[in-house]
Chains A and B, each alone.
Chain A
Amino acid sequence: MTGRVVAPDDASPADVPADELYDAAPCGYLSMAPSGTIVRANRTLLQMTGYTTDELVGRRTFAELLTVGGRLYHETHFSPMLHLQGHVREIALELLRRDGRRLPVLVNAQLVRDERGTPLVVRAAVLDASERRAYEQELMAARRRAEESEARARDLVRTLQQVLVPPAPPTVPALDVAGVYRPARHGDEVGGDFYDVFQTAPGTWFVVLGDVCGKGIPAAVVTALLRYAIRDAAVSQPTLPRLLDHVNQAMLRQGADRSATVVVLRLDRVDDAWQVTSCSAGHPLPLLVPAAGGDRQVGLPGTLLGILPETRLHAVELRLAPGDLVVLYTDGVTEGRRGREFYDVDRLRRNVAAPAADAQQVAQRLVDDAVAFQGDTTRDDMAVVALRVTD
């Protein structure tokens, strides 16, 4: 084997004797005229493609050695990049061999111009990339599977959350009720906040809002348990403290191993007015905004549920007049942070006090403001229920 230096004059191959370094290089090597026609190819490239020199040189273009998809890619990317930046690197293509089989390759190419900038020749190195391609295809398949399963998980979360939070509360006569739920972050996890509005007898309605500690499926299981235990106890238990104590026992019996805070309002229609009983189990107290002006928190703090066998819970009563507004919310609203600052009850009070067309606007505006306060990166989910007496 003699190692002669090859003159870099690929454009006129007849003058250049074949060189072992060139011919037996560990990569395919070819030169093309600006038109794309192959003007020179080394032995490795012939072996890769299965063609003879006579079949390639002066007869075929580089693009003709590619699959149809590869040709499209060549025209839309490879060739423009070569013209614009003078080279392309690591372009993945498939060679169509003479025997019809395909060979995955990586191609680097360089455009050589004369001193006036006119393209003279394109030189390309072609590397067998069969194994790399197999590996890449596995990566692609894995990525697609991951994307699909992520999409499925999101769907599942959305469905589950809809089961836990009613999309629209039922219509209650003489009362405008609206609830807004907002998941944390991207909504890719079931949150622990929930609310419910239901009727137990003619003229008797319950509004419930709660927050199960934690997120994800384990929290969702407890949320489901709570929601149905509350509906059950609302019928079977005579008072709100007994109702919530009953729910506490159910949680302990189930070994839920997860605490929850809940606030329950019982509304009775008496003499064309709403008689309201409120009871909170460890939950932020509801805010009452009377039509006459001012505001106050309603009720007394009580034991949270799911931890202690004994509960200390207190019911308070109030009478709502037309125009009076009551807002229930979870700590995702008030404990939302911007730096070290909390959204807090004061901001909530100011937001809720502003004039609103209906309960939906009150609830939605509060959630929007709390989200904006945190700069759209909400760590916790939020639930708000607003109710306003209509006449």
Chain B
Amino acid sequence: MEVAARFNITVTGNASGQPMLFAHGFGCDQNMWREVAPAFADEYRIVLFDHVGAGGSDLTAYDEERYGSLRGYADDVLLICRELDLQDVVLVGHSVSAMVGVLAAVQEPERFSRLVLVGPSPRYVDDGEYRGGFSREDIDELLDSLDSNYLGWSRLMAPVIMGNPERPELGAELSASFCRTDPEIARRFARVTFLSDNRSDLARVPVPSLVLQCSQDVIAPVAVGRYVADTMPDATLVMLDATGHCPNLSAPRQTIEAIARFLPESRGLRAS
């Protein structure tokens, strides 16, 4: 299948601008960026996509082995960059995709000019001195929560998620299907996300990076954000006065301003 369809790629903004690639985290899809990405559209070429298994991606492209670690997701990011011939990319990654971005930048540093990591955590589970904020049991409990909530997931929704053009009447329901994922894929993605350990990759990122940290985030606590910024060779930590793990939704203005300040070329943003 065409790469564009596999990842449900959306390209908007300034066609001749520097590319800004937004990667969503676990639990939702590219809609996560709808309050933030448009602010950069005048200046940047905005590229949005859904990870395989999420949103409007091609579910049949899901491969247990490829997506058995975050490296598979990082390979996808690089694949998208190659396919669209993106150079000098500003990669904005939320949650687990912050680490996906880190892995991609370690692998092909020449491809990226800057990284923006929104709520990053290189390891969620506590490990010796390191406090990720969760125990292994907590993660198992999350997997149980996923199971209970996907009981209501209907196979009927699958064509919508896959964007089946033969059944346009289902399109109306699309608006009600945010964050819906195939339960089996969601379970695997959750396991890969919350059991990952990318602490050793942080020091190898040669690209200037911004860490956006919410003041109260149960998924990526402040101490973890600080750890990320301290461990990366060239990273700046910016605290956002926001609760929760999704400042891109709950505090879009602050998020936009922090990113804009980090991008030296940015001028005349729509939001400012």
A240, B223: Cα distance in complex, Å: 82
**B42 in the interface (beta carbon within 8 A):** no
Q: How far is the CB of A143 from chain B (nearest CB, A)?
A: 10
Bound: A93/B146 CA distance, A: 10
Does A218 have its Cβ within 8 Å of any Cβ on chain B?
no
- Check if B151 sits within 8 Å of A76, measured CB to CB: no
Q: Are A72 and B145 in contact (CB under 8 A)?
A: yes
Contact residues of A: prevailing secondary structure: helix
* Minimum CB–CB distance for B18 against chain A, Å: 27
> Could you say which interface size class chain B belongs to?
35 or more
A215 at the interface (CB under 8 A from B): no
B12 at the interface (CB under 8 A from A): no
Q: How far is the CB of B60 from chain A (nearest CB, A)?
A: 14
Interface residue from A63, A68, A136 paired with B134 (Cβ < 8 Å): A68
- B222 in the interface (beta carbon within 8 A): no
Q: How far is the CB of B22 from chain A (nearest CB, A)?
A: 14
Judged by a CB distance under 8 angstroms, whether A139 is at the interface is yes
As a 0/1 sequence over residues 60 to 75 of chain A, the CB contacts with chain B under 8 angstroms (1 = contact) are 0101000111111101
| Distance of A140 Cα from B145 Cα, bound (Å) | 12
B249 and A70 contact, CB distance less than 8 A: no
Q: List which B208-244 residues lie within 8 A (CB) of chain A.
A: 217-219, 243-244
Min CB gap B243→A, angstroms:
5
Q: Is A76 in contact with B27, judged by CB distance below 8 angstroms?
A: yes
CB distance from A151 to the nearest CB of B (A): 14
Distance from A38 Cβ to chain B, minimum over Cβ atoms (Å): 13
- Contact (Cβ within 8 A) A80 B141: no
A84 in contact with B178 (CB, 8 Å): yes
> CB distance B179 to A72 under 8 Å?
no
- How far in angstroms is the closest Cβ of chain B from A144? 10
What is the chain B residue whose CB lies nearest that of A70?
B145
A79 pairs with B25, CB closer than 8 A: no
**Chain A residues whose C-beta falls within 8 Å of the C-beta of B27 in the assembled complex:** 75-77, 80
Find chain B residues with CB under 8 A from A36 CB. 243-244
- Out of B143, B149, B178, name the residue touching A85 (CB < 8 Å): B178
Kindly identify which residue among A34, A63, A75, A133 contacts B148, using a CB–CB cutoff of 8 Å. A133
Residues of chain A within 8 A (CB-CB) of B31 are 84
Give A73-108 as 1s and 0s: 1 = Cβ < 8 Å from B's Cβ atoms: 101110111011100001111100000000000000
Nearest-neighbour CB distance to chain B for A41, whole angstroms, equals 19
Q: Are B149 and A92 interface neighbours, CB within 8 A?
A: yes
**CB-contacts of B130-146 with A (<8 A):** 134, 138-146
Most buried by B among A70, A71, A83, A85: A83
B27, B148, B149, B151 interface centre (most CB from chain A within 10 Å): B148
CB < 8 Å neighbour of B250 from A34, A94, A139: A34
Q: Is B5 an interface residue (CB 8 A)?
A: no
Contact across chains for B138 and A72 when beta carbons are under 8 A apart? yes
Instruction: Identify the closest chain A residue to B140 (Cβ).
Output: A69
Contact pick for B142, options A34, A72, A90, CB 8 Å: A72
User: Which residues of the other chain, A, contact B267 by a CB distance below 8 angstroms?
Assistant: none
B145 touches A92 (CB 8 A): yes
Residues of A within 8 A of B245 (CB): 75-76, 79
Contact A91 B149 (CB under 8 A): yes
The chain A residue sitting closest to B138, CB to CB, is: A68
Asked whether A80 and B28 contact (CB < 8 A) given A34-B250, A72-B219, A92-B149, the answer is yes
Considering the complex, give the chain A residue whose CB is closest to the CB of B146.
A73
A residues within 8 A CB of B145? Answer: 67, 69-70, 72-73, 92-94
Known contacts: A69-B141, A73-B142, A136-B148. The answer to whether A79 contacts B249 by CB under 8 A is yes
Q: Does A35 contact B (CB under 8 A)?
A: yes
Q: Specify the chain B residue showing the minimal Cβ separation from A69.
A: B141
**B176 CB–A CB distance under 8 Å:** yes
In the complex, the answer to whether A139 meets B151 with C-beta atoms within 8 Å is yes
For the complex, give the distance between the alpha carbons of A34 and B250 in Å: 8
**Neighbouring B residues of A67 by C-beta, 8 Å:** 141, 145
User: In the complex, are the beta carbons of A79 and B246 less than 8 A apart?
Assistant: yes
Min Cβ gap B142→A in Å is 4
Contacts of A84 in B (CB 8 A): 28, 31-32, 34, 178-179, 249
CB of B262 closer than 8 Å to a CB of A: no
Q: Would you call B147 an interface residue if the criterion is a C-beta within 8 Å of the partner chain's C-beta atoms?
A: yes
Kindly identify which residue among B141, B244, B249 contacts A68, using a CB–CB cutoff of 8 Å: B141
Q: How far is the CB of B181 from chain A (nearest CB, A)?
A: 9
> Which B residues are CB-close (under 8 A) to A69?
138-145
Q: In chain A, what residue has the closest Cβ to B137? A: A68
| Distance in Å: Cβ of B187 to nearest Cβ of chain A | 12
A-B contact pairs, 9 of them (CB 8 A): A63-B218, A72-B134, A73-B149, A75-B244, A76-B28, A76-B95, A77-B27, A85-B178, A90-B152
| Additional pairs, 5, CB under 8 Å, beyond known A35-B243, A79-B250 | A36-B243, A75-B245, A77-B149, A80-B179, A84-B28
